[in-house]
Structures are given as C-alpha cells and as structure tokens.
Amino acid sequence: MENLSNETDDFEQVPFNFNDLKHIDQWKSHANSISNESNSTCFNFEEKLNNLLKLSDIEDILFDALANEDGNFVNLNTFWNCLKSVGIDESDPRLTETYNAFRQYFLHNEADHEQLVDRNLFRNSIQKNILLIVRAFKKHLIIPDFEQFKEKIQKIFDTCKENKTGEVASYIPQLARVDPNMWAVSVCTIDGQRIDMGDSKIPFCIQSCCKPLNYAISLTEHNPEYVHKYVGCEPSGQGFNELTLDINNKPHNPMINAGAIVICSLIKRQLCSSDRFDFIFNQYKKMSGNQYVGFSNSIYLSERDTADRNFAMGYFMRQHDLCSIEFTSESGSIIAATLANSGICPITGDRVMDPDAVRNTLSLMHSCGMYDYSGRFAFRVGLPAKSGVSGAILLVIPNVMGMCIWSPPLDKYGNCVRGVQFCEIFTNQFSFHNYDNLTCTSLKVDPRRIKQEDYADDIVNMLCKASEGDVKSILRYRLMDKDLSASDYDGRTALHVASADGQYEVVKILIQKCNVDINPIDRWGRRPIDDAIEFKHEKVEKFLKDYMENSSGVGDSLKI
C-alpha cells in the first residue's frame, strides 16, 4: 500500500492489487487516512479518487445500461454474460460477495424464475466487487477485445486437434493407458480473464511441470545464492534423466532430474517428509487460486516401481511424490498466470512467490524447460515454458497471461506434440515472442492493444445510436470510457445527431451524465441547438437553452 502514498500525483499508475483493495470502503478510508496525514500532498489523490469512483454514478449507469425495456429491472443472465464476454466468470473468487448476494436473494424468492433484480438489490449486491466489475465493463483488462482473442485461440485449438502424431509415454504403465485423444487448452490472464477448451476438467499428473514450481518455492524460502550453492543454472546438453554433474560438481540446473532432487531436498528441511509434501501441495493450491490440485496414488505407485532401478530417483519419488500431483488444465493455467503475474495469484490477489524467485524461474524455463528441444523452442516460440511426459506444457507470457496445454502423445524429445504446435502457431499469430518488438514491420496481432480502426468504428456506432435514441448503448459507451464528444469528418458529434433527430433522452444523457460540450461546432458552423431549432424539436431546444442559461451546472457531473 506504500505506492498509494508515494505516488499521489500519478494515481493512474499505482499498481493494482485486488487483495489489498477488495472493498471500496477500504480504499476510501485509506484515502482519508492519507489525507489526515498530509492535506497538501494528498489533495490531488482524493480528487482523482472521487472522480474515478463516484459509486452512485457507476452503479446507476451500469444498471441503466443493462436494464430491460421498462428500465426497472436487470436480468442477471445479461449481467453475467457481459462479464463472461470479457473473460470473467461468475465463479471468480473476486466476485464472491456479489454472487452470494444474488444467490441469497433468489433462495428466498424461488418464484422469480426470470432472474430479475431491481435497482436497489443490484446496487447493494455489486458494491463490494465494484472495482473488478467496472474494470471489466470498461474493458480495462490486459486483453480488451477478449471475444476476438478467444476466437483466434479456438481456431488454433481446432487446427492442432487434427494432429494425430506422437506416442503416449510408455515407460510408466499408468500413463501408457491414457486416451491419446485427450486435448485441452486453458488460458488465464494476469487480470483473471479465462478461456477453457477441450478436456480442461480432466485431471492429469504434472510430472516434470513440478520442477519450476519447486524451484520457485525453494527460492522464495531461501535466496538465489543459497540455492545455487547446490545446483547450477546452465543448460546441461544431456538428457533430462541423466544423473550428471557440471564442472563444479553440481547438477546443471533445476529442470533436469538431478537438479530437481536437490531442489526438493532444500524445501522445509526441518520438517518430516509428510509435512514437507503437505507444504508444497498447499503452495500449489495457493498458486492455482484454490482450484483443483490432487494426488494420483496409482501414478505414484507406478512411478515408484519403475524408478527403483535408480536409488536417487527412487528416493526422489518415494520421499516427495511430487510428479504424482495432478491438476487440470484449468488450474494449471492459473498457476502459469501466477508466474506471469510476478508470483501473485490473479484470481485471489495472494502473493505466493517472491518476485525475484519468479524472475529466476522464468529465466530457467526459457533456457531449459523443454528437454532437448529447449533451444529450438526458445528460438521459435521465445517464451518460458515447461513440459512433462504426461503431455502437459506450462507456457508463461510475462505480465500478460499463463497457459496450460495438455495432450498425452509426445514427440521424440518427450514434449506434447499438439502443445508444441499450438505454441508455435500462437507466437506466429500474436506478438508475444520475446523479440517481436524488434520487428517493426511485423503483421502479428498484439491483443493488448485497441486497434485504431476500432476508434473510427466507435464514432460511427455512437452517431448511429444517438440517431436511434438508444440510451442504453450511449450509457455503455460512457461506462467503457469512450469519447462521447468525438466527431466524424464533418465535425458532427453524437449531440449534433441526437438534437437533429429530436432524441430528447439521448441529449439529456449526453449533457447531464456524460458531460459533453454543449456547443460543439461542425464544419458548417452549426451547434446542436441550431439543429434542434432547424428541425423544430422544441423539447430538445428548450432543454438546451435552459441548460445553457444555468451554465454554472456544466461540468458538475463527474466522468467515470
């Protein structure tokens, strides 16, 4: 919370943490406490806070934008569907208070099958989660056009589904029995926007995907200097299961089995084996936002039997059982997103890992995470990743999102065939390769940016909606921070068009709620009131005249 007091002059740049600012009242009280300490330095902070978060305005505008035709009720299905369209699901832990408030109401009003809520219930229910809800409706999330992004991911998913090459791992009997047609892709952004495709709810063992997680846990507990007294950080040039040492008599890195054994031995050394396992298991749960993380006893027994020929590997498997922990692609994507989010789980706001530990982990995932294919993967995909022989791949796009990809058939390197293909197509279409910013002429899409063409489309759409008298659409544009004063090539604004067409309610909303300029001038030198007079819309004309006469009221409404 120190950032809030140190950067009062640049409020918009303050890092956002849902865990710290889960309730709006906390934010307000924090602003007041800062103000009491130093009125002079915090005046701008409070002013910006009030401008940004005038709750009554936000909640009412949101209700009006979603309300049914008579304007008295909002259908909850509409509300949840709007959130889903930007990647936020109603099961998101950050919406718990809102979800429970609506649920409690309908438990006591079973006759209301249409899921309709009035203004007061709606306002009271969304208040405690208003920060996330407003950001979602404004599309102030890392991927603003989430529906388009999801469509592209779906096409890549469908393309890779047709890939029938590769063989399921056979050296572990339980893995050899897995259906090779299983195929899942899950995405979680650092803002908690989620996509789940295919067999995303089927549990699978994480196998070597546990290695970067254990390494990050170890670094968080200790420090890099201590950990790297016992394990190196260089690619080995050997097979992942070679128990070899580097010239300093240390395992080459934590992503090969020898290094993973050492890393496990460093975690909570003072505890017994069962307590250490519980600790790591609980850390995985925190990374996944308390989503599904399990343990496959059959895989554990199967792995133990095949590992007995090597004492060290047998010790590793018997004592720590970590390769036999399982999750789904859904929970795996949240774990990957936690790594992408510098160790903070995006759906709970809890810090699970130290930022430096995450940085070091991603560095080794980039250079050593894909077995003997690591160099080529870094060359072609350019992102940190870790694969396992169960067919899983954790892919991390730092500061953007995490992915978990799963399909059992493997290539000759032990990597998921469909997963590698998916990653390569993904970075061919999107500018997420580490060095894509160097290719200025690239035709790749950056889904984090809003295209310039969208701005032109917005102007056309706003003018059309103003002409049609579509108040809900105008309110939605305001909620999304669109520039309702924007004009077309003739200098015509939404207020010009609404005045010319006699759309009184739109004119009223634009002036009173959206705080647009009441006297914009088009290329012919005409103002909105001139259009109202020209086309004999007396009600609009009177409203504009009265408002101009009371010009001291102009600017009182706050832009959200």
Question: Are 290 and 283 in contact, with CB atoms under 8 Å apart?
Answer: no
| Span 5-32, pLDDT tens digits | 333 333 333 333 444 444 444 444 444 4
Helix (H) or strand (E) holding 393: strand 392-397
CATH of 57-138, one of 3.40.50.1950, 1.10.3720.10, 1.20.1250.20, 1.10.238.210: 1.10.238.210
Question: Are 388 and 208 in contact, with CB atoms under 8 Å apart?
Answer: yes
Q: What is the pTM of this model?
A: 0.77
| Span 121-165, pLDDT tens digits | 999 999 889 989 999 988 889 999 999 999 999 999 999 999 999
**Can you tell me whether residue 188 is helix, strand or coil?**
strand
Confidence of residue 38 (pLDDT cuts 50, 70, 90): very low
Examine the pLDDT at 53 and tell me if it is beyond 50. no
Mean predicted lDDT score pLDDT of the chain: 82
Radius of gyration of the chain (CA): 28
What does the CA dihedral 57, 58, 60, 64 come to, rounded to 10 degrees?
120
- The span from the CA of 128 to the CA of 101, in Å, is 10
From 249-258, 348-357, 393-402, the region with the lowest mean pLDDT? 249-258
Q: Please give the pLDDT value at position 454.
A: 63
- The span from the CA of 27 to the CA of 24, in Å, is 5
| Span 335-376, pLDDT tens digits | 999 999 999 999 999 999 999 999 999 999 999 999 999 999
| Span 93-130, pLDDT tens digits | 999 999 999 998 888 776 566 789 999 999 999 988 99
User: Which residues are CB-contacts of 285 (< 8 A; sequence separation ≥ 6)?
Assistant: 293
Q: Where are the domains of the chain?
A: 57-138, 149-429, 451-550
Helical residues (DSSP H) of 108-209, grouped into ranges: 119-126, 130-138, 146-161, 173-176
When pLDDT is averaged across residues 321-346 and rounded to a whole number, the result is 90
User: Which residues are CB-contacts of 405 (< 8 A; sequence separation ≥ 6)?
Assistant: 184, 185, 186, 329, 392, 393, 395, 416, 418, 419, 422, 423
Q: Which long-range contacts (CB under 8 A, 24 or more apart) does 32-37 make?
A: 34/4, 34/5, 34/8, 37/5
Helix (H) or strand (E) holding 316: helix 311-320
Q: Please give the pLDDT value at position 528.
A: 94
Given this structure, which CATH class describes domain 149-429? alpha beta
**Can you tell me whether residue 241 is helix, strand or coil?**
coil
Architecture of domain 451-550: Alpha Horseshoe (1.25)
Residue count of the chain: 560
Helix (H) or strand (E) holding 48: helix 39-52
From 94-103, 290-299, 453-462, the region with the lowest mean pLDDT? 453-462
- The span from the CA of 51 to the CA of 314, in Å, is 62
